[in-house]
């Protein structure tokens, strides 16, 4: 593997959800540790599953991996980091300022922006020379920091002075107030990230057009702020030898080769490695040791027994229950890479085909609804909450109102603040709130952004709900917030999308727990791209299908109140006709 040749001290693995970056990061850590080097594996993913991969409980502290000499691991807990960050800011003023003022500061620091900054605060401590990291030859990060977070920490403005003079009242000044003391640490960390002798970024993708586009965007964004040494890993590539006698296998192979041929130019110049699709789930030490080895499959797939017909409901069975209400909000949530856009489009098409008015919309910056639908349908309208467009609209509103009476210095600092990720969070929330109001008269089907972004949106929704409730007090005025609508199962149905694999099911279960803590009860689960539902003949696919059966059973019996399974199709589900086939596969097979 080229990305492992003469590795620098810091290795980052990043990519769209579902591409296997955690597995590759863990396998890399195991390989370097086997070479006798002391390695620290760090996850900065809020939904980290590194512990499950190794079969160990890790958490927000450095833990030695018992089965792998020289390897330790750490899962940065964003919520714990955020609480420590809040305590550092609020602690000095508690008991000095009036209690209502302290509560106001705490509320300002309760949002997702604080969580993101606080997690980065812990992450940067690992990039500077300190007693914490001095013993490690390599530090491997599962999920690199995003470009906008690094840009946020490069902002040169004197935030504390801006606050003290009372000039600011915008989206992110509360969270940013704690950054000044960390300025030196952040500067040293950003310098380490930009040093190719110390840092290598590994972009992980699948041979799929969407994930390659996402990798190209990440490449350009991070290269633009100095992370120049980048490698590309194409994971889970389907072998040509499996495509000879199985129409489904042949279709997968052709699709992947076409995606590679159409790879964005920005990626073509990067050093590239390819990792073949494995018949096993990448969980456990033995699987990790074999992941980076492209040896021939030993076979055994022909003898794998599969049921003649998968006994599971299809998507149209869920649509029957949804349609009975006549209107409402349907939200499709899940990690990146599980096919939320396709599922949302299939639900919307099936509802519209039944003569019901439907508005299909997305809050995912990378979604391509128009490409998925490839046409129009009576009763169906589509839209997209464009984060850039909504952010610019919000920016201009803040500058025209809060910035109207500022002097040049104050306005410049306000403009700087409005370039933070918190601004986008607020702008998208406002657009989200406008659209879900339509669900009182028609169906609104929402394809949400990947889980982390969705939780940011829900966090903003919850913060708005708490603030409005506090302001209204006991006035007796009746009101409904977006969060109240999301918590009302009669108005909102949340569908959790997943794949029939160990890690995606675990991540979906974690998302369900997060939603329940917010008072939102998921209505159904959808298992997408199931090989077991597609009746494969390829030995490799049959072994993967056999592994799926256990995960589908876990969804049906342990996690979901109701569920549906959607098969992996020979033809990509693009266009109205194929989307309907996707929803009604049991009637087609």
Q: How far apart are CA 212 and CA 267, in angstroms?
A: 8
Question: Which helix (H) or strand (E) is 234 found in, with range?
Answer: strand 230-237
- Give the up-direction half-sphere exposure of residue 236: CA atoms within 13 A in the CB hemisphere: 20
> Is residue 181 annotated as part of the catalytic site, yes or no?
no
> Is residue 21 annotated as part of the catalytic site, yes or no?
yes
Set 16, 21, 493, 586: catalytic member: 21
Set 23, 72, 451, 538: catalytic member: 23
> Is residue 134 annotated as part of the catalytic site, yes or no?
no
Question: Sheet of 63-64: strands edge to edge?
Answer: 63-64, 71-75, 39-43, 138-142, 10-14, 199-205, 230-237, 272-276
Q: How far apart are CA 329 and CA 205, in angstroms?
A: 32
Query: ∠ CA 513-25-133 to the nearest 5 degrees?
Result: 95
Alpha helices (H) along 307-450: 315-323, 340-353, 369-373, 387-401, 408-417, 421-436
Set 218, 503, 530, 538: catalytic member: 503
Q: 208 with 336: CB under 8 angstroms?
A: no
> Is residue 442 annotated as part of the catalytic site, yes or no?
no
Q: How far apart are CA 86 and CA 79, in angstroms?
A: 10
Estimate the share of the chain in helix, then strand, then coil, as percent rounded to the nearest 5.
50, 15, 35
Cα torsion for 329, 530, 377, 482, to the nearest 10°? 10
> Is residue 18 annotated as part of the catalytic site, yes or no?
yes
> Is residue 410 annotated as part of the catalytic site, yes or no?
no
> Is residue 23 annotated as part of the catalytic site, yes or no?
yes
Nearest CA-CA partner of 140 in 217, 225, 37:
37
Nearest CA-CA partner of 423 in 176, 122, 219:
176
Set 15, 17, 20, 336: catalytic member: 20
**What is the number of other CB atoms lying within 10 angstroms of the CB of residue 418?**
24
Set 14, 15, 28, 45: catalytic member: 45
Q: 337 with 452: CB under 8 angstroms?
A: no
Q: Cβ contacts of residue 294 below 8 Å, gap of 6+?
A: 274, 275, 276
Q: How far apart are CA 218 and CA 215, in angstroms?
A: 5
CA-to-CA dists, residue 119 to 43, 83, 205, 421, 513, angstroms: 11, 10, 25, 14, 21
Catalytic positions are 18, 20-23, 45, 503
């Amino acid at each position: 593997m080229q990305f492992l040749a003469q590795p620098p001290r810091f290795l980052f693995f990043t990519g769209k959800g579902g591409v296997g970056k955690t597995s590759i990061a863990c396998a890399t850590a195991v390989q370097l540790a086997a070479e006798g080097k002391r390695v620290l594996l760090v996850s900065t993913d809020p939904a980290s599953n590194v512990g499950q991969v190794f079969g160990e409980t890790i958490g927000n502290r450095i833990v030695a991996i018992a089965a792998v000499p020289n390897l330790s691991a750490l899962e940065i807990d964003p919520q714990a980091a955020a609480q420590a960050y809040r305590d550092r800011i609020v602690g000095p003023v508690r008991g000095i300022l009036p209690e209502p003022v302290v509560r106001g500061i705490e509320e300002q620091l309760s949002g997702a922006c604080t969580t993101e900054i606080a997690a980065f605060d812990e992450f940067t401590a690992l990039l500077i020379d300190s007693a914490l990291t001095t013993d490690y030859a390599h530090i491997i990060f599962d999920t690199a920091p995003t470009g906008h977070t690094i840009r946020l920490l490069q902002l040169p403005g004197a935030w504390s002075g801006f606050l003290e003079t009372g000039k600011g009242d915008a989206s992110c000044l509360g969270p940013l107030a704690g950054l000044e003391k960390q300025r030196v640490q952040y500067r040293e960390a950003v310098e380490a990230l930009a040093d190719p002798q110390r840092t290598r970024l590994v972009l992980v993708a699948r041979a799929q057009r969407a994930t390659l586009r996402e990798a190209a965007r990440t490449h350009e964004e991070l290269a633009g702020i100095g992370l120049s040494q980048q490698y590309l890993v194409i994971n889970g590539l389907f072998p040509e030898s499996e495509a000879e006698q199985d129409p489904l296998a042949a279709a997968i192979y052709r699709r992947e080769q076409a995606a590679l041929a159409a790879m964005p130019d920005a990626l073509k110049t990067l050093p590239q490695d390819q990792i073949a699709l494995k018949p096993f789930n990448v969980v456990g030490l033995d699987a990790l040791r074999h992941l980076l080895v492209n040896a021939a499959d030993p076979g055994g797939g022909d003898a794998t027994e599969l049921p003649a017909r998968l006994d599971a409901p299809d998507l149209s069975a869920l649509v029957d229950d949804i349609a009975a209400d006549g209107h409402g909000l349907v939200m499709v949530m899940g990690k990146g890479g599980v096919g939320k856009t396709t599922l949302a489009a299939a639900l919307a098409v099936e509802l519209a085909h039944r003569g019901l008015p439907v508005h299909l919309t997305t809050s995912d910056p990378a979604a391509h609804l128009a490409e998925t639908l490839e046409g129009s349908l009576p009763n169906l309208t589509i839209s997209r909450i464009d984060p850039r467009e909504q952010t610019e609209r919000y920016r201009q509103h803040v500058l025209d109102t809060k910035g109207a009476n500022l002097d040049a210095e104050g306005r410049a600092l306000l403009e700087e603040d409005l370039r933070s990720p918190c601004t986008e969070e607020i702008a998208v929330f406002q657009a989200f709130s406008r659209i879900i109001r339509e669900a009182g008269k028609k169906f609104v089907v929402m394809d949400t952004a990947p889980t982390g972004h969705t939780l940011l949106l829900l966090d903003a929704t919850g913060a708005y709900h708490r603030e409005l409730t506090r302001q209204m007090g006991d006035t007796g005025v009746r009101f409904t917030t977006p969060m109240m609508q999301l918590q009302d199962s009669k108005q909102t149905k949340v569908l959790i999308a997943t794949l029939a694999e160990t890690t995606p099911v675990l991540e979906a279960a974690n998302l369900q727990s997060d939603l329940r803590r917010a008072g939102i009860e998921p209505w159904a689960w959808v298992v997408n791209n199931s090989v077991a539902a597609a009746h494969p003949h390829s030995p490799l696919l049959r072994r993967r299908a056999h592994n799926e059966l256990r995960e589908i059973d876990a969804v049906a019996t342990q996690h979901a109140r109701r569920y549906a399974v959607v098969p992996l199709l020979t033809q990509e589900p693009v266009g109205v006709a194929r989307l309907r086939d996707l929803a009604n596969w049991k009637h087609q097979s």
